[in-house]
Amino acid sequence: MMVSRRRFLGSLCALPALAAPARSRPNILLILADDLGYSDLGCFGGEIETPHLDRLAANGMRFTQLYNNARCCPSRAALMTGQHPHKVGMGNMTGNPRREGFPGYSGKVSEEAQFLPAVLKQAGYNTLMCGKWHLGQPGPVARGFDEFYGMIQGFDSFWDSSKYTRLPADRPKRQYDKFYATDALTDHALEFIGGARGSAKPWFLYLAYNAPHFPLHAPKELIDKYQPVYEQGWDVLRQRRFAKMTKLGLLDKRWDQTPRSVVGPNRVSTPNGWAPKQNPAWETLPEDRRKDLARRMAVFAAMVDQMDRNIGRVLGDLKTKGELDNTLILFCSDNGACAEWDPYGFDVSSGPENVLHVGAKLAEMGQPGTYHSYGSAWANLCNTPWRMYKHYTHEGGISTPCIAHWPKGVKAKGAIGNQPWHFVDLLPTLAGVAGAKAPAGLAGVNMAPIFSGHRAAHGPLFWEHEGSRAVREGKWKLTALHPKGEWELYDIEADRSEMHNLAGAHPERVRRLAQAWDQWAHQNQVVPWIWDPPYQLTSGLK
């Protein structure tokens, strides 16, 4: 029997507010990475050096089945409002032209939506944000943040300080002789925390790094460090990650490694549908192309490394000030690894095309004035072992590495939690931890019991983005690729790699889950929507 999420909202509203003094309530540090793949961190199987996040995982918990919304804006809307993004108007991205009759895709979050910082502020928290906003206007201060420094839009240079904004506008803005965004965001985060310590109130910091989203920019010495690592190629490294993830206990031994040849989509449709591109075998590429690609991935790895170093700065500050034990730190990523737009990446000078860098041009990659991505084949590595990428509702698009660290609240050091939950749950969960009253009628539920190793009651999970769509109930997941794709059914407990489509063997289950998705879609303003003609998303697609 399909379990309705509404059955659990009563328990959320019934949760008592904490009656403890403000100083005994935890500080909350929510760290969001941008376009980080599921297996990029060392503690999730990757070869990138992330010692500070690895230490958080060793002394806290890793959650293997926290789900995001497949792309920047929808994920951030769900995280900040506790609602499915379409319900608050952010089914796609900011800036899209508003069209009458499509309220789920208005390109802005509805004015009525209550944001997480406003909820926590009502409970007596200082509310601070550094990083990427990407939720349009009104901006972060109007939505409840006391202090903001970061990027209002979606992505831009890491080397250009003019792209970053300080709010409220009358606040002094730091000046830099040498600017790098990840460092500057952390500088302001430490400044904001320091200022909050002057009050008797706990603080909430949303540290939303724009790393490692393209444009791929990083300090040259760090890029050089990773160049030889990625000259080994994606085939070798995918197998190493898979083996390490299995050894770490992150993968069930029943799950397969997906083949390299899994669809690597470009972003161009044809009259016959989507034109897939296969990710090539590394050894089939000419040497100059391998050098170019290795350098692209080395820049990406350097961005993750530098992000981890900066997280270490924040952790060091909290430890020095005696705040680490009573700070809930939650780390996650806004979507899966980014495949835009083909196996070789792209460069801004040529739109979705790629440029082959050779000779001296290789050393310039990642430096000021450059602007490129790493492509679908490296994204395939970063999402090991899942199928697909950012934009899609297969596991590679919606699965995030998640770490929770809170010595006073997370007791099982090094534990791995496997319960499925969703970005819509973050607002009610953090509100519950803070003793705040969550808004009524949220899609999410309070998942705080999982921090202490218990299960929390949860109903089915739902997704839609750009026509890809999914529903998960228990171990069963129904998903489809683009508006014209047929439903695929997977037993996620036995086959989270989504390699064995069971739709033909369970037609009644497919029908029932598809009806549940259809009902959710109508309730949450998902349909109707014309995405990319001639495709039309309508309810009840089978």
Cα–Cα distance for residue pair 297/241, rounded to 1 Å: 15
Pair type for strands 203-208 and 399-405: unpaired
Residue owning tokens 């994204």: 379
Question: What tokens does 256 get?
Answer: 């397969």
- Condensed to tens digits (0 to 9), the pLDDT of residues 231-260 reads 999 999 999 999 999 999 999 999 999 988
**Residue ending a domain, choose from 406, 434, 452:** 452
Q: Do 444 and 516 lie in a common domain?
A: no
Domain total for the chain? 2
Q: What's the pLDDT at 98? A: 65
284/388 same-domain check: yes
Per the domain annotation, does 4 fall within a domain? no
Residue-level pLDDT at 33: 98
pLDDT tens string 97-141:
666 778 898 889 999 999 999 999 999 999 999 999 999 999 999
pLDDT in tens, 356-369: 999 999 999 999 99
pLDDT of 529 reads: 62
Cβ count near 311 (within 10 Å): 26
**What is the per-residue pLDDT for 298?**
98
Distance CA 490, CA 474 (A): 11
User: HSE on the CB side for 51, CA within 13 Å?
Assistant: 4
Does residue 154 belong to any structural domain of this protein?
yes
Mean pLDDT to the nearest integer, 348-377: 91
Judge whether 382 counts as a catalytic residue. Answer: no
Nearest CA to 250 out of 41, 74, 514 is that of 41
d(CA 388, CA 395): 7
Query: Which of 36-40, 106-110, 284-288, 481-485 is least confident?
Result: 481-485
Query: Of 43, 52, 72, 482, which one is the catalytic site residue?
Result: 72
CATH number of the domain residue 505 falls in: 3.30.1120.10
Distance, CA of 62 to CA of 43 (rounded, Å): 9
Give me the amino acid identity at 224. Answer: D
**Residue 221 belongs to some domain of the structure:** yes
Closest CA to 90 of 72, 71, 77: 77
Same domain for 510 and 393?
A: no
Confidence of residue 528 (pLDDT cuts 50, 70, 90): low
Residue 268: predicted pLDDT: 43
Q: Is residue 2 part of a domain?
A: no
Task: Considering only residues 57 and 538, tell me which one the structure prediction assigns the higher pLDDT.
Answer: 57
Element (H, E) at 29: strand 27-33
- Are residues 181 and 49 part of one domain? yes
In a domain, 301, yes or no: yes
What are the pLDDT digits (tens) for 392-410? Answer: 999 999 999 999 999 999 9
- Domain identity same for 416 and 539: no
Tell me, yes or no, whether 224 and 128 share the same domain.
yes
Residue 10: inside a domain: no
Would you say residue 472 lies in a domain?
yes
Residues 392 and 481 in one domain: no
pLDDT at 526: 92
For the chain, first and last CA: distance in Å?
20
- Domain co-membership, 207 together with 343: yes
pLDDT score of 37 more than 70: yes
Which of 528, 482, 523, 391 is CA-nearest to residue 99? 528
Q: Is residue 135 part of a domain?
A: yes
For residues 382 and 40, is the Cβ–Cβ distance under 8 A? Answer: yes
Select from 183, 181, 207 the least CA-distant residue to 193: 207
Model confidence at 353, pLDDT cuts 50, 70, 90, reads: confident
Q: Are residues 529 and 448 in the same domain?
A: no
- Percent residues over pLDDT 90 in the chain: 81
Domain boundary among 452, 473, 503: 452
Tell me the CATH number at 70: 3.40.720.10
- Please tell me the predicted confidence (pLDDT) of residue 357: 96
Backbone angles phi, psi at 477, to 5 degrees: -130, 130
Alpha helices in 383-425 (DSSP H): 395-398
Residue 271 has pLDDT above 50, yes or no: no
pLDDT digits over 431-487, tens only? 999 999 999 999 999 999 999 989 999 999 999 998 899 999 999 999 998 877 899
Query: Where is the domain boundary, 423, 452, 481?
Result: 452
Q: Out of 55-69, 208-222, 331-345, which region has the weakest mean confidence (pLDDT)?
A: 331-345
Q: Is residue 20 scored above 70 in pLDDT?
A: no
Q: What Cα–Cα distance (Å) separates residue 518 from each residue in 50, 62, 89, 462?
A: 41, 33, 18, 10
Identify each DSSP E strand in 352-494 by its residue range: 399-405, 415-417, 421-422, 461-465, 468-473, 476-480, 488-491
Which DSSP string do the residues of 48-102 spell out, in sequence order?
A: S--HHHHHHHHTSEEEEEEE--SSHHHHHHHHHHSS-GGGGTBSS-TTPPP-TT-
* Residue 379, pLDDT above cutoff 50: yes
Return the pLDDT at 165.
Answer: 97
Beta strands at 327-333 and 27-33: parallel, antiparallel or unpaired: parallel
H/E segment holding residue 237: helix 234-248
Half-sphere exposure in the Cβ direction for 540 (13 Å, CA): 0
> Rounded mean pLDDT of 366-394?
95
| Mean pLDDT score of the chain | 90
Q: Tell me: do 374 and 444 sit in the same domain.
A: yes
* Total residues belonging to the chain: 542
More confident residue, 123 or 272: 123
In degrees to the nearest 10, what's the CA dihedral of 337, 340, 342, 345? -90
| Residue 173, helix vs strand vs coil | coil
Q: Is the pLDDT reported for residue 196 higher than 70?
A: yes
Q: Which two tokens stand for residue 57?
A: 């995982």
Residue among 52, 134, 213, 217 flagged as catalytic: 134
| Domain coverage including residue 383 | 25-452
pLDDT digits (tens, 9 = 90+) for 205-235: 999 999 999 999 999 999 999 999 999 999 9
Same domain, 438 and 471: no
Task: For residue 325, give every residue at least 6 positions away whose Cβ sits within 8 Å of its Cβ, in sequence order, or none.
Answer: 407, 408
Cα distance between residue 314 and residue 328, in whole Å: 13
Q: CB count, 10 Å around CB of 147?
A: 24
pLDDT in tens, 22-35: 568 999 999 999 99
My answer on whether 404 and 490 are in the same domain is no
What per-residue confidence (pLDDT) applies to 351?
74
Q: Give the integer Cα–Cα distance in Å for 465 and 462.
A: 11
Based on the residue annotation, tell me whether 402 is a catalytic residue of this protein.
no
